[in-house]
Structure 1
Amino acid sequence: MKEAGIQTIRIGEFAWSKVEPREGEFTYEFFDGFMETACKAEMKVIFGTPTATPPAWLTEKYPEVLNCRMDGVKFRHGMRRHYNYNSPVYQKLSARIVEKFAGHYASHPNVIGWQIDNEINCEADVFYSESDTAAFREYLKARYGTLERLNRELGMIFWNQEYTDWSEVYVPRTTIHDSSNPHLTLEYYRFVSESAGAFCKMQSDIIRKYMKPGDFITTNGMFGHLDNHKMMDEALDVYTYDSYPNFAYCLEEDPIHSKGLNDRKWSNHLSRVRSVCPHFGIMEQQSGANGWNTRMEAPAPKPGQMTLWAMQSIAHGADYVSFFRWRTCTVGTEIYWHGILDYDNRDNRKLGEVKALHERLRPVRDLAGAGYLAAFGVLEDYDNLWDADVDVWHRRVEKASKKEIFAASQLSHTPMDYVLLSDSTEYEELGKYPVLFYPHGLILTERRAEVLKMYVEKGGCLIIGARTGQKEEHGRCVMAPMPGLLADLTGTAVEEFTFVGAVDGTVCMEWNQRQLDTGIFNDILETVSEDVKVLARYTSNYYEGKPALTERLAGDGRVIHFGGTFTRETVQALLEYTGILSPYEDEVKLSPECELCVREKDGKKYFFILNYSSQEQEICLGHEMRDLNSGEKRTGRICLKGYETIILE
């Protein structure tokens, strides 16, 4: 490991029984011996808390700690993450084992950080145990106070769902078609996030009593029904992610016909991670083929892809990268989740790539801390992300537009950020972006509408899409024309709306003598204010000639209201119209097969160019730049081999 440049390892995240083999019986022999070895080798250690895998003695004696299916059947011992956050027994025993781990090892000189649990809300981001129902009732009592208010605000009158006693309230349960009250379900997802965050913070608070100055607390992964921003603020010092781009090539996928950019799509995930923590780490970076004995079969990464994906993480802001794993497991469910070394433990090409990457990164270590430069932002908020899990109409438009906005950003080399929008968001967080997309903000609150209005009036360009302003915070539809709370800003109203059905063909709008696809859903717009400019009109369907795209000036800025869902062609046209398309085109020209990321530090720009194709790609520099790996000055045309990357200054 040391010879390959590996300086830090993570341990312990699934090792509860190594310290507590039987209830109340603690032994530190195994990890004491390991830490002695790490000390001799001068290896830094990130210690994981072991709560992702409760031991058999625990789940057998206390079955109430287990998570359940929606129909109440328990998930039994034998997998991982089969517990629930709200069991008082599990909270007590988890707190005790974390106390034992931290109390014994936090002072060790080789321990530099702590990972809480493992991949919070992975495997399951819904919880249906009796403990969850009991905790959900208390959550609702605190939030609504009375059943009368809960019934009123969550629309329980529909289908006679009103409650008359708190004992009648449950987490979602099995129903016909698995359909339940959407407003209560949205509240349930908020509850799941609160439960997971509280479980993380409980562990963080314990560790902070023992950790050395300068050490850090993190957790890994990014999964559903979890407010990662709040968890970061309340419990963590740094956020780490597990990056596995080879999922794009699993045998059940169709990478040849996919429009989702395959492994390059992980740049989209990394952009979301960056919104939580601008300078994040990668706790698990893909090193070999992924797969369990039960699912996720995948081919091995091609020569060069392991390095490509590590550089993808670094290009997007990762200042720490740890490969998963050192050696492929010879036993257990993950015998096909391949590591750097294979079962035979011999040197191989993957180890060669790790060594080469280590040497390659030596000259660019000072780049750590460099910021990522984005030309525009895409607003996201947890209310709408979770509402899209509740509402299939919302989900379909949200998924389509987000995919296409990312594709347009990538293929036009116009870097983007995801930007959190919440009721505590301030103008300063938005003002650094000249253009912000808010694709389908169905749920709007007055506070968010206010900050968006301020952003526009102070010079920003806000672009909104179909369905904006349809709902209030509980997911109830507002009895006012869309875009609801933004209508005064846009000067528009939605006259009518429809999905674009199969018999409708492609519905386009004509803009600047171009026909642009308006996507899978159309809001038919009408202008309400005289100062609204119609930029484009629909060219087919029963609303042919009606406004599809409008613009209105407000203060020093403008708002663009698009009645459709976004396609990559429409997004590129909007980026061009707003003057931010391909901002680095004069400095570097490259093919759509390559990604461009730009990081900046101390006034210097660092250009990361990544070739995701197996074929050679040509790039052209507009002026002389320095290759940070070779130190050579480069100009004019450069050829990148398949999967090759380059960093230029």
Structure 2
Amino acid sequence: MPALPSHRRPAPFDRFWFGAPYYPEHWNAAEREADPPLMAAAGVNAVRMAEFAWDLLEPVEGRYEFGFFDEAIERLGRHGISTFLCTPTAAPPRWLTAEHPETLRMNADGVPLQHGSRQQCCHQSELFREYSRRIVRAMAEHFAGHPHVVGWQTDNEFLCHFAECHCPNCQQAFREFLRERHRTVERLNRAWGNAFWAQTYRRFDDVLTPRPHKPTWTNPAQHLDYFRFLSWGVTRFQHDQVEILRRVNPKWTIFHNGLFGHIDYRGAFARDLDVLGYDNYPFFDPDPERRPRSQAFGLDRARGWSGNFIVPEQQSGPGGQGSYFHDQPEPGEVRRMAWTSIARGADSLLLFRWRTCRFGAEIYWCGILDHDNVPRRRYEEVKRLGGELKRVGGELLGTSVHVEMAVAQCDQEVFDAHSILNLGLAGPGQVAERIHGAAFEAGYAVGCIHPADDLRGVKCYVIPHWALFHPDWVEPLRAYAAAGGVLVVGARTATHDWNNNHIAEPSPGVLRELCGVAVAEYGRQNRPDRRTLELELDGQRVATEGWYETLEPAAGTDVLARWTSRHLAGQPAIVCRSEGAGKVLYVGAYFGEALIARLLPLWARLSGLQPLWPGVPSGVSVVRRDKPGAQYWFFINGTDGERRIEKVPAGTELLTGAHAGADWILPPHEVAIVKT
């Protein structure tokens, strides 16, 4: 098995791909003829096609018609535009589901899904898997030697709208997964704690998929295995396709787009691919002042799974469906959001979509061109970006994003375990975003890194309330601290074993020795406004929220903060112990905004953390990408106003070619990239 992916890994591209998802099946002949030269003028060198065109590619079972896409690929190729094709399995044709309704997914109420949208078929259906292999094999063999087809996207946004399925196919596949995982039903009974509520099974064939509140609470160990099963099933479904594509043409680049829940993107799913794809829509955050930090977190989270990535769908206009419609990006925002993606790890980028569709469920998912096909300011902005990427994009390949502070992220099992038994508390991903956002606003070089990944060069590393915690992560964290890092562990961490059962020993379980502490009492803060709890840190009091713990420090562990309220008064709340050249802190409270604001200066002081480029004005973010012999400093103005940066690094500003080193003016949403 290949090594675990690293957040430092560059994408394996030999050029920077820039373009858009393109749907020629939506347009008339005149529009299709006019599109390639207009794309080329905007610097487009790649498109993504065919992910929802199965009905066109195989209009009746067994009859494949590729002529339409042959013409489209050739037409684009004449203008220097390459194609990433997609396996079209996210939207099966009606003839398939009409003939085989047993391939349809089923919700928790036992209602089959139906044709008329997308993602209606079950990945565990052996019949659907066979149809998937057939269409992928036919497409791969047809396009195998085509010089303009450079790679593939698998399916489209696995588990995007919903994840669960309870159809007969899933019942059978779930049992197959459990046999593979537990080997015997006795081991399954022990792992799930089936002595509770008379849940003991005599054989695997008696096990059903868990359905919440039918009739009441599910077994948290069983439910976590069900979520693991969803990842296992999607990974198996994708592997069918990847295996065919690799066999037909090993040179093709293969990726998937999305990064939705219940999929282990650090495991076999990602190892099957050359690179992960992240669909980036910052305007889902309705607050324009928050968007730069929320976009930064999403991108850093994407990079944390397996390194630099491709953005197969980057927002290029407002998006809307049903009851929502995003803001229209103001002048400069589309380009600024694209450069932000690149700064934080995108090694190729496609803007969704080329032209806004006039029919179907995505009429108001606006693209580079509007419904009337008139090139306006969004097109001109994309054209400017395309020209810049022609000059700069290739030079950024082979670089990695510099990180000095990181929050633990990118473990789907940890997130799923919390979601099953969350106690009304914010999830570890939500809390990580709070911490990341505070560090982002402070100007630190912040990122998201898994505990088993490479922590070299990271001065401060925060684990926010990971109840599920694997013992194998302890020694790498010990080595990280011993080498001089500051490790911060949040309350409730390591309180569950890998089956999602509560541990028998005092918390924080496998981390107790490293943290030098045991939890004596814990509790939920359901109404902190009525029963306020405060702790005192560096002579200042701060109110906590969500969760509290009283701590019993071991010998050699220092108390940094004590509770000051109610029956907790005087008891330790935050402790610190030395580990080699570094420090390990345990925080016996939930990371709310107020507490994070108090703790961040402490973490910086203990770790020597400084802003990446001190003195930049509010609203300007700084990111650095490195490779041997060169550093690339990105200064990004995420505000509606002009910002002046005093003395940027000495070097060449790549977008203008100007010498940098003195003060620099950034207009609203403007970007500067200085090479040193």
TM range (shorter): over 0.9
The more displaced of 75-84 and 594-603 is 594-603
Name 2:56's counterpart in structure 1.
18
Cα distance in 2 between the residues matched to 1:376 and 1:99: 45
Q: In the TM superposition, what are the counterparts of 1:175-254 in structure 2 within 5 Å? A: 175-176=213-214, 179-211=217-249, 213=251, 215-231=252-268, 233-249=270-286
1:171 is aligned, of 192, 209, 213, to 209
1:280-335, Cα deviation, whole Å (9 max, x unpaired): 1111111111012x243222111111011101101101111111111100111111
Equivalent position of 1:420 in the other structure: 450
Q: How does 1:47-446 map to 2 (within 5 A)?
A: 47-173=85-211, 175-176=213-214, 179-211=217-249, 213=251, 215-231=252-268, 233-249=270-286, 255=287, 261-292=290-321, 294-365=322-393, 366-380=395-409, 381-393=411-423, 395-396=425-426, 398-421=428-451, 425=452, 429-446=454-471
Question: 1:532 maps to what in 2?
Answer: 557
Matched-pair contact (CA < 8 Å) for 1:489–1:559 = yes
Q: After superposition, what is the alpha-carbon deviation per residue over 1:26-58, rounded to whole angstroms, capped at 9, x for unaligned? A: 222222222232232332000001000010000
Aligned to 1:450: 475
Q: Give the stretch that moved more between structures: 530-539 or 344-353.
A: 530-539
- 1:252 corresponds to which residue? none
Change (3 A) 1:274 1:571: farther
Asked if the contact 2:442–2:611 (Cα under 8 Å) also holds between the matched residues in 1, the reply is: no
Distance 1:630 1:622, change over 3 A: closer
Runs of 4+ in 1 over 6 A off after TM superposition: none
Q: Which moved more, 1:453-462 or 1:602-611?
A: 453-462
Task: Summarize deviations over 1:205-253 as a string: whole Å, max 9, x none.
Answer: 000111253x31111110000011224543101112111111112xxxx
**Structure 1 residue 498: deviation in Å?**
1.6
1:605 aligns with 2:634: no
- C-alpha deviation, 1:178, in angstroms: 5.5
Q: In 1, distance between residues paired with 2:60 and 2:174? A: 31
Check whether the contact 2:106–2:113 (CA below 8 A) recurs between aligned residues. Answer: yes
Query: Does 1:641 pair with 2:667?
Result: yes
CA distance in 2, matches of 1:156, 1:574: 45
Task: Indicate how the Cα distance of structure 1 residues 109 and 395 shifts in structure 2: closer, same or farther if over 3 A, else same.
Answer: farther
> 502-511 or 101-110: which moved more?
502-511
Q: CA separation of 1:211/1:295 partners in 2, compared to 1, >3 Å: closer, same or farther? A: farther
CA–CA separation in structure 1 for the residues paired with 2:388 and 2:271:
36
TM-score normalised to structure 2 length: 0.89
Q: CA deviation at 1:602?
A: 2.6
Q: Which amino acid aligns with 2:312?
A: M
Is the 8 Å Cα contact of residues 375 and 580 (structure 1) preserved in structure 2? Answer: no
Q: Do 1:412 and 1:572's aligned partners in 2 also have CA atoms closer than 8 Å?
A: no
- Partner SS for 1:171: coil
Cα distance in structure 2, aligned partners of 1:397 and 1:548: 21
**Structure 2 letter corresponding to 1:531:** G
| 1:395 to partner: Cα distance | 4.8
Shift of 1:439: 1.4
Match of 1:488 in 2: 513
Alpha-carbon separation, structure 2, partners of 1:212 and 1:145: 35
Tell me how far apart the structure 1 counterparts of residues 376 and 402 of structure 2 sit (CA, whole Å): 37
Q: Does 1:618 align with 2:640?
A: no
Q: 1:575 pairs with 577, 584, 603, which one?
A: 603
The question of whether the paired residues in 1 share the 8 Å contact of 2:612 and 2:622 is answered with no
Q: Structure 2: give runs of 5+ residues left out of the alignment.
A: 1-38
Tell me the secondary structure at the aligned position of residue 342 of structure 2.
helix
Letter in 1 for 2:462: F
Answer 1 or 2: higher relative contact order, Cα 8 Å, separation at least 6: 2
Query: Is the Cα–Cα contact under 8 Å of residues 504 and 541 in structure 1 kept in the other structure?
Result: no
**Does the 8 A contact of 1:125 with 1:223 survive in 2?**
no
Instruction: Tell me how far 1:180 sits from its aligned partner.
Output: 1.2
1:73 to 1:623, Cα distance in 2 relative to 1, 3 A:
closer
Question: 1:220 is aligned with what amino acid?
Answer: N
Residues paired across the two proteins, number: 631
What residue in structure 1 maps to residue 77 of structure 2?
Answer: 39
- Shift in CA distance, 210/399, structure 1 to aligned 2, threshold 3 Å: closer
Q: Cα–Cα, structure 1 residues 565 and 320, in superposed 2: closer, same or farther, change >3 Å?
A: same
Instruction: Look up the SS of the partner of 1:288 in the other structure.
Output: coil
The answer for the alignment partner of 2:3 in structure 1 is none
- In structure 1, the partner of 2:10 is none
Alignment CA distance shift 1:562-1:619 (3 Å): same
Deviation at 1:633, TM superposition (A): 2.7
| Counterparts in 2 of 1:395 and 1:169: CA distance versus 1, 3 Å | farther
TM-score (normalizing by structure 1)? 0.93
Matched residue type, 2:541: Q
- The answer to whether the Cα contact below 8 Å between 1:245 and 1:264 also exists between their aligned partners in 2 is no
Please report how far the alpha carbon of residue 506 of structure 1 lies from its aligned counterpart in structure 2 after TM superposition: 5.2
Larger deviation: 40-49 or 27-36?
Answer: 27-36
In 1: Cα distance, 2:166 partner to 2:425 partner: 23
8 Å CA contact 1:387, 1:394 repeated in 2: no
Q: Give the drift of 1:134.
A: 0.7
Percent identical residues? 33
Q: Does the CA-based 8 Å contact 1:388-1:394 persist in structure 2?
A: no
Matched letter for residue 217 of structure 1: I
Contact 2:482 2:579 in 1 (8 A): yes
Q: Distance in 1 between matches of 2:163 and 2:477?
A: 31
Output aligned runs, 1:491-510, within 5 Å: 491-500=516-525, 501-504=527-530, 507-510=533-536
Q: Are the counterparts in 2 of residues 616 and 640 from structure 1 also a CA contact under 8 Å?
A: yes
> How far apart, in 2, do the equivalents of 1:531 and 1:344 lie?
71
Q: Please give the secondary structure, in 1, of the residue aligned with 2:573.
A: strand
Contact 1:457–1:557 under 8 Å retained in 2? yes
Q: What letter matches 1:577 in structure 2?
A: R
Task: Please say if residues 10 and 47 of structure 1, whose CA atoms lie closer than 8 Å, have aligned partners that are also in contact.
Answer: yes
Higher alpha-carbon deviation: 332-341 or 430-439: 430-439
Shift of 1:177: 6.9
Q: Is the 8 A contact 1:275 1:420 kept in 2?
A: yes
CA drift at 1:145: 2.5
One-letter amino acid matched to 2:69: F
Q: Does the CA-based 8 Å contact 1:412-1:581 persist in structure 2?
A: no
1:584 alignment partner in structure 2: 612
Give 1:473's aligned residue: 498
Structure 1 residue matching 2:266: 3-state secondary structure: helix
For the residue of structure 1 that corresponds to 2:604, the secondary structure is: helix
Aligned to 1:2: 40
SS of the aligned residue for 1:138 comes to helix
Distance apart, 1:564 and its partner CA = 1.3
Q: Compared with structure 1, are the counterparts of its residues 508 and 404 closer, same or farther at alpha carbon in structure 2 (3 Å cutoff)? A: farther
CA 1:362–1:145: 2 relative to 1, 3 Å: closer
Give the Cα separation in 1 of the matches to 2:177 and 2:396. 45
Considering only aligned residues, what root-mean-square deviation do their CA atoms show, in Å?
A: 2.0
Is the 1:289–1:337 contact (alpha carbons within 8 Å) kept by the matching residues of 2? yes
Please identify, of 11-20 and 173-182, the stretch whose mean Cα deviation from structure 2 is larger: 173-182
- Bigger CA drift: 489-498 or 436-445? 436-445
Indicate if the aligned counterparts of 1:107 and 1:210 stay in contact, CA closer than 8 A: no
Change over 3 Å in CA distance of 1:508–1:620 after alignment to 2:
farther
Measure how far apart 1:571 and its partner are. Answer: 4.1
Q: Secondary structure at the match of 1:396?
A: coil
